[in-house]
Amino acid sequence: MAGFEERLSLLKQEIVAQGRRVLDLCTRAVECHFDGDQGKAREVVKADEAIDTADVAIERASVPLLAMGQTNEHAIRSVLTIVKVNNELERIADDGVAIAEKVLEPHRFTERVPDVFRVMANSVLGVLRDATRSLEREDPELARQVLLFDDTVAQFKAQILRETETAVTQASVGFAFRLLAVTKALERIADHATNICEQVIYLKRGLIVRHRPEGWSEPEAPASR
């Protein structure tokens, strides 16, 4: 039977591969939304099956590691990080599928998507890309940079909401609701990506990051009990 370190190394490889699958799914989901490509949207929905399968496999492989009696704090944090990140990645994939499913709805709209929406979508994909990179490299500084950028996504959302209100008076309500639904899905993807970055910082430094109304705090040591 493989030892703890070997099994943990394999599990790390699996979570990195899962991150790449999820990033690819979300990238294609955004592309199919802009292109109105229903064929690509169906591919996105289908791709989620492999992600769900990997999600279950990673969780099942993680539990026995916690039962191997490790006392090294970093080793324990490594397993807990994989479990938590695995959950975040599965939720991100669900949000990507939600975007693709909007393309598959029967009603087609001819209104032009606001430019700020495209900027937000590309920014969210950048956040997800850097979050998965920080996980792969176990890079807490890159993770910190992603957290600092997260408030920009909220600013994009506020602008999109303002433009959507205008669109309702000039275009169809259905188009506005679809745009809002996709915007919320993108915001959730960014939120889950920043959660991954929090876990990377905790893994490498044992520090906790808290999200406050004024923005992300600097990492701090957990409170002693």
pLDDT in tens, 149-162: 766 667 766 776 66
Using only the alpha carbons of the chain, give its radius of gyration.
19
Q: Give 88-109 pLDDT, tens digit per residue.
A: 999 999 999 999 999 998 877 7
- CA–CA gap between residue 131 and residue 200 (Å, rounded): 9
Please say if the pLDDT value at position 170 is more than 50.
yes
Structural domains in the chain, CATH included, are 4-216 (1.20.58.220)
- Answer whether 190's CB lies under 8 Å from 130's CB: no
| pTM of the predicted model as reported, rounded to 2 decimal places | 0.86
HSE of 41 in the Cβ direction (CA atoms, 13 Å)?
17
